[in-house]
Chain A
Amino acid sequence: MRETDPRSISGKLPAPDRHVPLVVVGAGAAGVAAAIEAARAGVEVALIDEHPVDNDMMAMDVPLCFGQRMDGSVRNRALMLERVVETNPDLAAAHEAGVDVQLGTYVWGAFVNGPAVQELPVPMLGLADDRRSWLLGYDRLIVAAGARDVLLGFPGWERAGTLGAGGAAALLTRYRALAARRILVLGSGALGLQTASLALERGIEVAGIVEVDARVRGDAATAKTLAGRGVPFFVSHTIQARARAHGRDRVRGARRRESGRHARRGQRSARSRATPCAGRSVWSRASSCSTSSARGFDSSPGSAAGCPKSTRACGRASRRSSRPVTAPGSTKICWRRRTPRGPRAGWPAPPRRKR
């Protein structure tokens, strides 16, 4: 019947125009190294990378959570292409080694035969750029696509200015197009410390590093260096909400209610005491809302029930990942931006113009 049905795809799917023995997806350190190694071994290899990403996609937090903190330069595609090449010298090396480097190209599908598909002439990738889509046949595929941002949800988290560590790092390094001056980092794991160090390196002030655990989780030496440079650490704290006040973004923090295994060494009186944080726009407040809500961090058992607001599911994260938001390394950064006050106190602020 496969042969007689005119509407069956049997035998009708053509092989793509182009076929390469090896495709590497992702031009990070691992992808570039693999591509160069293969090229030196005499294999024809194509290296595909989605950066520079189209400005519209960035605005939708695709593929990383950019939190609308791109500056105007990301609209200049030629400039972005230049920067992506310039900031990743390995790309030039790959090109030199004979790798076919395709930038600004994203992979929307990898198709192989299997139990539910039997009619593909060869394995193939669906590729696209901002103008068109095409197919590329391959024999072997290396996926080195890196990580996506998985965020922690809290009231106000969905507003512009909340970035993922990946989005922040991409804007700081690859694009050099971050529109922010001062950041608060949630999470003191390796990713959090790394992000804070990177920000300092690029001249961005770090208002603090918030850690739900009672101690800094990342590398102690790095933490010490950061502390030495004046970065305050707020251990046993989590974020409660992001709010706007007087035309500025503010973060309301919450001190962890000492319970469970931390109860004995904790200070119960802290619950009723406001805890000032460095910086005018970041402050922390003791609250009965337990930090166990911070599922991305260490959660203390048994205290989540009292805090429905901040335990809500992370919609933005779940949109791009079906995994629960419990990745231990998940890190979130809040960027504050100064905006001019309205013409008269008490007037509603003018709508913020899209950059």
Chain B
Amino acid sequence: MADYGDKASGASVVIVGGGVTGLSTGWRLARAGVDVLVLEKGIVGWEASGRNGGGATHVYSPFGLEEQRLWPQMDELLGYPTEYQPYRIGIALSETQLALARRWAEVGEMRGFRWELLDRRQLKELVPIVGDNAIGGTYLHFGGHANPQRTVQGYAWALQDHGGRILQHTTVTGLAQRGGRVTAVETTRGTFDADVVVVAAGPQTGAFAEMLGVWLPLAPARVEMIATEPIPLMRVGGVAGNGLYGRQTLRGNLVYGGGPHEWINVPDMATPDHANTPLVRSLARRLAELLPGAAHVRLIRSWSGLVENTPDGLPVVERLTHPDNVVIATMSSVGFGLRPPSAARSASSCASVGASSPTSAPSRSAASPIRRAIGVSDAGWAAAPSAVEAAAGGDD
């Protein structure tokens, strides 16, 4: 990816973070003709944004409906392939898992989507590699999955197609304030003037909020994933269950992750190296239980990433009141699937230069403001059902 604008020069909107949230926001803005600059400390989409379960089935979210509406159009909107594939199948190996899968489906139903309960025979027809240990499943006529790496790349290219700029290997070190506004973004490659700043810095978002005097409790956790060698394509690649989320790629690889996780302290702006643990064996075992017909397939890759979590697992997309030209955007661990289409839009609305009142922006749903976190102390909140758990139960 070419870096544009090597010279330090500002932009109307400067976005801190070249993950999926920052890139999608930038793309939306660039598409609307806004002068936008994305600053990324490493490579775009190199962290959890580009390597994750690739799920796009978050109907429980405040952005769920937008997600469902937009994902099928994304290839066309971006002009680059996302490998989006519709529908999801949930496999249950126990009554508990079936209840969980049903709950997931029923949330969709409440929001107007169709689903079917599958018995073992139907399940086997759809997914030939399930075993006799499966008791049933759900077929969701909504949701889907996409290739995270290609999607992030697509956002970056589309952003540049619309005249937006991306600076990689540029670490933001500070936010210069004057007169109650952030006027510039200080980086390792110079200072960039900005009318509006969007902070979409993943695990580091909380640190930036703190710089601005805003308390945003975010807890980063490390989650791990595995990929197998390719197997023949299934009719529906979005197959998950047994505590796993994931998908079959168009090449045929089974790519799965899903709890448990480890809470990680990220003390500074540097994201620690990705490391796996013996948890990958747990993932592999659960995948072999879920899809016994593929139990012989070799694992060829594993990786981990850091996801940041809000106390209630729901996104924060808010334009601050002080300073009033900053938008904070974190998607709380399920950034990929849900956020590109929907949150991007919300963040864009907030960030649009001259947007009159932040309260009129569509993102001001009950779930997204930061203030709901007021009163949440640093300790103990992670015990509440988090998005990590939601992701583990369903799909990310």
Contacts and interface: CB of A to CB of B under 8 A. Distances in A.
A124 B278 contact: yes
Contact of A111 (B259, B262, B274, B278): B278
Interface string B199-236: 00000000000000000000101100000000000000
Interface stretch (B1-9, B133-141, B377-385): B377-385
Contacts of B281: 126, 133, 135
Contacts of A116: 222, 264, 272-275, 304, 306
A55 B259 CA distance: 34
Contacts of B273: 114-116
Given A1-B383, A5-B263, A7-B389, A114 B272 contact: yes
Contacts of A5: 263, 382-383, 386
A1 B379 contact: yes
B275 A117 contact: yes
Nearest to B279: A9
B277 interface: yes
A73 B292 CA distance: 31
B368 interface: no
Contacts of B383: 1, 4-6
Interface in A269-288: none
Interface in B244-288: 259-264, 272-281, 284
A109 B381 CA distance: 33
Contacts of A114: 272-273, 275
B388 interface: yes
12 contacts: A2-B263, A4-B383, A7-B261, A7-B386, A8-B221, A9-B262, A13-B279, A109-B278, A111-B275, A115-B264, A120-B277, A124-B278
A116 B275 CA distance: 6
Contacts of B379: 1
Interface string A117-144: 1111000101000000101000000000
Given A7-B388, A7-B392, A118 B277 contact: no
Interface in A1-51: 1-2, 4-10, 12-13
Contacts of A9: 260-262, 277, 279
Interface string B365-394: 000000000000001111100101100100
Nearest to B382: A1
B277 A111 contact: yes
B277 A8 contact: no
A51 B101 CA distance: 44
A311 B165 CA distance: 31
Given A1-B380, A2-B263, A119-B262, A126 B222 contact: no
Q: Which 5 A-B pairs have the closest CB atoms?
A: A115-B272, A1-B382, A116-B272, A4-B383, A116-B275
A173 to B, nearest CB: 27
A6 B276 CA distance: 20
Nearest to A5: B382
Please indicate which of the listed interface residues B273, B276, B284, B299 has the most CB atoms of chain A within 10 Å of its own CB: B276
Contacts of B261: 7-9
Contact of A4 (B277, B380, B388): B380
Contacts of B304: 116
A115 B306 CA distance: 12
B264 A7 contact: no
Given A1-B383, A7-B388, 13 more contacts: A2-B263, A4-B380, A4-B382, A7-B389, A7-B392, A8-B260, A9-B277, A10-B263, A13-B279, A108-B299, A111-B278, A118-B264, A126-B280
Contact of B219 (A1, A118, A133): A1
Contacts of A118: 262, 264
A106 B221 CA distance: 30
A133 B284 CA distance: 11
A115 B274 CA distance: 9
Contacts of A119: 262, 277
A109 B272 CA distance: 18
Contact of B278 (A2, A115, A126): A126
A135 B382 CA distance: 30
A8 B392 contact: no
Nearest to B274: A116
Contacts of A135: 278, 281
Nearest to A14: B278
Contact of B276 (A1, A12, A111): A111
Contacts of B380: 1, 4
B26 to A, nearest CB: 27
A118 B262 CA distance: 8
Nearest to A108: B299
Nearest to B388: A7
Given A1-B383, A4-B382, A5-B383, A117 B280 contact: no
Nearest to A125: B278
Nearest to A124: B278
A319 B281 CA distance: 23
A99 to B, nearest CB: 25
B244 to A, nearest CB: 13
A13 B386 CA distance: 21
Nearest to A3: B383
Please indicate which of the listed interface residues B275, B306, B379, B381 has the most CB atoms of chain A within 10 Å of its own CB: B275
Nearest to A114: B275
A250 B277 CA distance: 47
Interface in A72-120: 108-109, 111, 114-120
Interface string A293-324: 00000000000000000000000000000000
B260 A7 contact: yes
Contacts of A111: 275-278
B222 A8 contact: no
A124 B276 CA distance: 12
B384 to A, nearest CB: 9
Contacts of A13: 277-279
Nearest to B385: A7
